[in-house]
């Protein structure tokens, strides 16, 4: 209750029942001793309505009174402060422009902003500096640097940030939804029943405007759009963005001590796991695997992002049959070829010699850490300052439309340029496929696992079962109020007059339990790994273990103490390691009394949320969509002893635990991530008593059917003439004899 009482008083634009807390002021007293809840209040104030100057008097006052040049001694590194001041005086990214994650000029400035925040001596100096920056630098750059700082500063651990899709909805919401929100704000929600019904807009007496995301332009440029509900999922894109925030490619290990973590291996394995998860989603639609991008072939299928930025610019549309290599970007293609060849030659030779003479070994399993940093960023081939000379960045540049404008302020990004949007673009998955081929080649050069690697003497899995796996498409209301500008009256009231919500459809599933019955002849600590993967390929052929090993998705990994005799391990899907449930609405946390539609809301367990990992994979995306009659998959469990013999000399497990960056097994086991499927398997040595496969079926339940409805007769229903409505039963309409008679012959053939 004490947490809820404090949060209920927080000053932020929220529903009308939330009032500005005049008893709490940023900068009134020294903020060093603020508890976690008050620190969170300060951060939320800074991130609210980032497109405009802050509405909070205390933030403006601190920004006006604080002078960085007069407080150089308040920072741990004086040279960092002087470097930022020189850059600021020369001119930085203007406030009205788009901050782009792949623009080298933007990122150099963002890193300088990060440094001055990161090297503040205490939280008081950190907050005063943040207030000063909030009123003076580009909003997107400020959000980026502040988010990275909250992730890495020790005195910010435990702070829950507003979801990025609430801070800046433009990157996550289709442009037609934003346009309708502007229309409702300009007309003060004027009620035109016909127009609002057509657009799917509802207005409640709570000044809540709900905009149905589906009531817009539907498109299908290629078969990839069939799974756009997955690639455009706001939580999946947040997951990738937060992975980058945890392990930025520009973060030098000698300055931030991040070299003591397995960050390269984590990022490489996360990339491979995203591809494996995409493979399952495609298989549920009987689509075959993604092919690596080929630079000498035209890109057959285009992409329409449907994203309009706050500047009014649309993210560029990529046309069909695009020629990838032209005379304008040939230099980037040559550089990419050189880097890719150097990496592959290094893998085959077992080492890479950098220009400064240092030699990087690529012979041992743990060397994947250094290879991944060279491929994805974090270790330059020339020196550690070559932050933009890695494969993924070069490939993104090669596909950019802004070939003449890379290092300018007026840069209109493509979907590939932003960590918050790149998963939406089908070509990014093909880039990831090509990148992961480098890791696959490295693993091929390693010796295969032996029976001793797989086996756990004295431990036997007797039974492995799971609940019925059922997926469905549910509804979610996304708060997009921060996409709109506040007028003078709203700024004075410190809250918007109307709350704008986009109602979307998203993949979800019922919680399920996995039960493993184990017999052990001793009491011992063990590591349990649970995977889910395909049973058949897209052509219906049974897959061998080696066929599908790279398509196995690791849904849970945990440490478990086996007792002598019988053990029953039960894991609920919501408790699986590294999995998070829905991020709470910022406004709902602050209000905490009633939800947006006036219904009594469940109390948000804020304390437990604080101490969960920030970078969690969305729980509701653990399972692919499935099929009405069932989608055959296989689950796999393996129990192994805790091994710490492969630990890199610099890795600090305690540091990773402290920072809550325990992805998969990195904090309690040093076996390579992806074990036992990361290397080609010798089938004569694979099957042991401590592992087991189980056949499972993933069923899809139609949208709108309640849990107690087993089936609905839809034999006399047909789909409206719409190309992406196959998942929405409310888009089905009963057809009559009159309808059939009015159809043309061509219409009937298309059905």
Q: What is the mean pLDDT of residues 120-135?
A: 94
pLDDT band at 508 (very low <50, low <70, confident <90, very high): very high
Query: Whole-angstrom Cα distance, residue 321 to residue 324?
Result: 9
Q: Which of 50-54, 285-289, 718-722 has the lowest mean pLDDT?
A: 718-722
In this predicted structure, the answer to whether residue 613 has a pLDDT above a threshold of 70 is no
Homologous superfamily of 2-161? Hemocyanin, N-terminal domain (1.20.1370.10)
Q: Specify whether the CB–CB gap between 402 and 329 falls below 8 A.
A: no
In this predicted structure, the answer to whether residue 595 has a pLDDT above a threshold of 60 is no
Q: Specify whether the CB–CB gap between 672 and 448 falls below 8 A.
A: no
Query: Whole-angstrom Cα distance, residue 249 to residue 70?
Result: 32
In this predicted structure, the answer to whether residue 503 has a pLDDT above a threshold of 70 is yes
pLDDT band at 198 (very low <50, low <70, confident <90, very high): confident
Judge if the upstream peptide bond of residue 378 is cis by omega within 30 degrees of 0. no
Average pLDDT across the chain, whole number? 82
Q: What is the mean pLDDT of residues 684-706?
A: 85
Q: Which of 435, 431, 444 is nearest to 362 (CA)?
A: 444
pLDDT, tens digit (0-9, with 9 covering 90-100), for 435-489: 999 999 999 999 999 999 999 999 999 999 999 999 999 889 999 999 999 999 9
What's residue 716's pLDDT? 40
Nearest-10 Cα torsion for 727, 730, 734, 739: -90
Pairing relation of β-strands 513-520 and 499-509?
A: unpaired
In this predicted structure, the answer to whether residue 607 has a pLDDT above a threshold of 70 is no
In this predicted structure, the answer to whether residue 71 has a pLDDT above a threshold of 50 is yes
Nearest 5°: the CA angle 640, 614, 140 is 140
- The two structure tokens encoding residue 187: 């007309």
In this predicted structure, the answer to whether residue 690 has a pLDDT above a threshold of 90 is yes
pLDDT, tens digit (0-9, with 9 covering 90-100), for 288-312: 999 999 999 999 888 889 999 999 9
What's residue 715's pLDDT? 39
HSE-CB for 169 with a 13 A CA cutoff: 23
Q: Specify whether the CB–CB gap between 46 and 530 falls below 8 A.
A: no
What's residue 238's pLDDT? 95
Q: Please, what CATH class does the domain formed by 223-444 belong to? A: mainly alpha
Q: What is the mean pLDDT of residues 91-95?
A: 92
CATH 1.10.1280.10 in the chain is located at 223-444
Could you tell me the strand order of the sheet in which 459-466 lies?
A: 459-466, 513-520, 565-572
Higher pLDDT, 126 or 17: 126
Q: What is the mean pLDDT of residues 257-284?
A: 89
Higher pLDDT, 99 or 154: 99
In this predicted structure, the answer to whether residue 170 has a pLDDT above a threshold of 80 is yes
Q: Residue 683, class by beta-carbon neighbours within 10 Å (0-12 exposed, 13-18 middle, 19+ buried)?
A: exposed
What's residue 649's pLDDT? 61
pLDDT, tens digit (0-9, with 9 covering 90-100), for 378-395: 776 665 555 667 888 889
pLDDT, tens digit (0-9, with 9 covering 90-100), for 329-354: 888 899 999 999 999 999 999 999 88
Q: Specify whether the CB–CB gap between 82 and 70 falls below 8 A.
A: no
pLDDT band at 531 (very low <50, low <70, confident <90, very high): very high
DSSP H/E element including 685: none
In this predicted structure, the answer to whether residue 429 has a pLDDT above a threshold of 70 is yes
CATH 2.60.40.1520 in the chain is located at 451-481+498-574+624-700
In this predicted structure, the answer to whether residue 612 has a pLDDT above a threshold of 80 is no
Q: How far is CA 190 from the centre of its chain?
A: 37
Residue 551 has a CB neighbour count (10 Å cut-off) of 22
Q: Which of 465, 436, 458, 489 is nearest to 640 (CA)?
A: 458
Q: Specify whether the CB–CB gap between 509 and 622 falls below 8 A.
A: yes
Running DSSP on this structure, what letter comes out for residue 92?
-
In this predicted structure, the answer to whether residue 22 has a pLDDT above a threshold of 90 is no
Q: Which of 283, 229, 290 is nearest to 621 (CA)?
A: 229
pLDDT band at 591 (very low <50, low <70, confident <90, very high): low
Q: Which of 206-215, 624-633, 692-701 has the lowest mean pLDDT?
A: 206-215
Q: Specify whether the CB–CB gap between 412 and 316 falls below 8 A.
A: yes
Q: What is the mean pLDDT of residues 489-498?
A: 88
Q: What is the mean pLDDT of residues 599-622?
A: 57
Q: What is the mean pLDDT of residues 15-23?
A: 36
What's residue 601's pLDDT? 34
In this predicted structure, the answer to whether residue 526 has a pLDDT above a threshold of 90 is yes
DSSP H/E element including 640: strand 631-641
Q: Specify whether the CB–CB gap between 376 and 268 falls below 8 A.
A: yes
What's residue 223's pLDDT? 81
Q: Which of 82, 51, 557 is nearest to 273 (CA)?
A: 557
In this predicted structure, the answer to whether residue 742 has a pLDDT above a threshold of 70 is no
pLDDT band at 729 (very low <50, low <70, confident <90, very high): very low
What's residue 331's pLDDT? 87
CA 442 vs CA 330, 349, 377, 419: distances in Å: 28, 11, 17, 26
What's residue 385's pLDDT? 55
Q: What CATH architecture applies to the domain 451-481+498-574+624-700? A: Sandwich (2.60)
In this predicted structure, the answer to whether residue 653 has a pLDDT above a threshold of 90 is no
In this predicted structure, the answer to whether residue 282 has a pLDDT above a threshold of 70 is yes
Higher pLDDT, 634 or 260: 634
Q: Which of 163, 215, 238, 43 is nearest to 478 (CA)?
A: 163
Percent of the chain with pLDDT over 70: 80
Adjacent-strand bridge partners of 534 = 633
Q: What is the mean pLDDT of residues 530-544?
A: 95
Query: Whole-angstrom Cα distance, residue 683 to residue 694?
Result: 18
pLDDT, tens digit (0-9, with 9 covering 90-100), for 203-245: 887 789 999 888 766 666 678 888 999 999 999 999 999 999 9
Higher pLDDT, 682 or 217: 682
CA 209 vs CA 99, 204, 456: distances in Å: 29, 7, 58
């Amino acid at each position: 209750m004490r947490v809820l009482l404090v949060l209920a008083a927080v000053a932020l634009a929220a529903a009308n029942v939330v009032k500005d807390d005049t008893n709490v002021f940023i900068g009134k007293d020294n903020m060093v001793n603020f508890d976690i809840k008050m620190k969170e209040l300060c951060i939320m104030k800074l991130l609210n309505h980032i497109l405009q100057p802050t509405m909070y008097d205390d933030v403006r006052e601190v920004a006006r009174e604080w002078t960085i040049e007069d407080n150089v001694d308040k920072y741990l590194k004086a040279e960092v402060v002087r470097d930022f001041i020189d850059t600021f005086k020369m001119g930085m990214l203007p406030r009205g422009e788009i901050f782009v994650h792949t623009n080298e000029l933007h990122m150099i400035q963002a890193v300088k902003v990060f440094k001055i925040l990161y090297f503040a001596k205490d939280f008081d100096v950190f907050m005063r500096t943040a207030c000063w920056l909030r009123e003076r630098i580009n909003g997107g750059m400020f959000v980026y640097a502040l988010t990275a700082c909250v992730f890495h500063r020790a005195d910010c651990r435990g702070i829950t940030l507003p979801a990025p899709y609430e801070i800046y909805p433009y990157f996550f919401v289709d442009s037609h939804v934003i346009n309708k929100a502007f229309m409702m704000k300009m007309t003060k929600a004027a009620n035109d029943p016909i127009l609002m019904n057509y657009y799917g807009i509802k207005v409640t007496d709570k000044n809540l405007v709900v905009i149905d995301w589906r009531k817009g332009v539907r498109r299908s440029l290629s078969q990839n759009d069939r799974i756009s509900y997955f690639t455009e999922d706001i939580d999946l894109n947040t997951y990738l963005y937060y992975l980058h925030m945890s392990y930025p490619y520009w973060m030098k290990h000698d300055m931030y001590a991040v070299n003591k973590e397995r960050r390269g291996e984590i990022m490489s394995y996360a990339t491979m796991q995203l591809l494996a998860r995409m493979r399952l989603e495609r298989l549920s639609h009987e689509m075959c695997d993604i092919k690596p991008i080929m630079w000498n072939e035209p890109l057959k299928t285009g992409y329409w992002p449907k994203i309009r930025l706050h500047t009014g610019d649309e993210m560029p549309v990529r046309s069909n049959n695009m020629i990838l290599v032209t005379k304008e970007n040939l230099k980037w293609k040559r550089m990419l070829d050189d880097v890719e060849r150097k990496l592959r030659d290094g893998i085959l030779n077992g080492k890479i010699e950098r220009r400064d003479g240092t030699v990087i070994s690529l012979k041992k399993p743990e060397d994947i850490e250094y290879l991944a940093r060279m491929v994805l960023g974090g270790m330059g081939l020339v020196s550690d300052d070559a932050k933009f000379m890695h494969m993924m960045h070069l490939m993104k540049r090669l596909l950019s439309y802004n070939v003449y404008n890379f290092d300018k302020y007026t840069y209109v990004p493509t979907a590939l340029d932003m960590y918050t949007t790149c998963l939406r673009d089908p070509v990014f998955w093909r880039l990831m496929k090509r990148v992961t081929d480098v890791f696959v080649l490295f693993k091929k050069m390693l010796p295969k696992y032996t029976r001793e690697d797989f086996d756990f003497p004295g431990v036997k899995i007797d039974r492995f079962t799971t609940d019925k796996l059922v997926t469905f498409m549910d509804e979610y209301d996304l708060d997009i109020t921060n996409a709109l500008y506040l007028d003078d009256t709203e700024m004075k009231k410190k809250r918007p007059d109307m709350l704008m919500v986009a109602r979307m459809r998203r993949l979800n599933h019922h919680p399920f339990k996995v039960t493993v019955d184990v017999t052990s002849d001793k009491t011992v600590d063990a590591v349990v790994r649970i995977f889910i993967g395909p049973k058949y390929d897209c052509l219906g052929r049974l897959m061998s273990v080696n066929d599908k090993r790279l398509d196995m998705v690791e849904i849970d990994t945990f440490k478990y103490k086996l007792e002598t005799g019988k053990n029953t391990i039960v894991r609920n899907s919501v408790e699986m390691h590294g999995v998070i449930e829905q991020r709470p609405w910022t406004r709902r946390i602050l209000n905490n009394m009633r939800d947006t539609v006036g219904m009594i809301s469940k109390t948000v367990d804020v304390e437990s949320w604080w101490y969960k990992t920030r970078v969690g994979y969305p729980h509701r995306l653990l399972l692919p969509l499935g099929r009405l009659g069932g989608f055959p998959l296989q689950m796999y469990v393996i129990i192994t002893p805790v091994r710490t013999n492969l630990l890199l000399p610099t890795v600090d497990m305690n540091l990773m635990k402290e920072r809550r960056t325990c992805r998969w097994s990195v904090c309690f086991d040093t076996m390579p991530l992806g074990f036992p499927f990361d290397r080609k398997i010798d089938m004569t040595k694979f099957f042991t008593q401590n592992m087991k496969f189980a056949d499972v079926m993933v069923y899809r339940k139609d949208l709108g059917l309640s849990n107690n409805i087993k089936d609905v007769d839809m034999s006399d229903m047909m789909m409206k003439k719409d190309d992406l409505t196959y998942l929405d039963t409310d888009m089905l309409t009963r057809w009559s004899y009159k309808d059939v008679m009015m159809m043309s012959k061509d219409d009937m053939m298309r059905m």
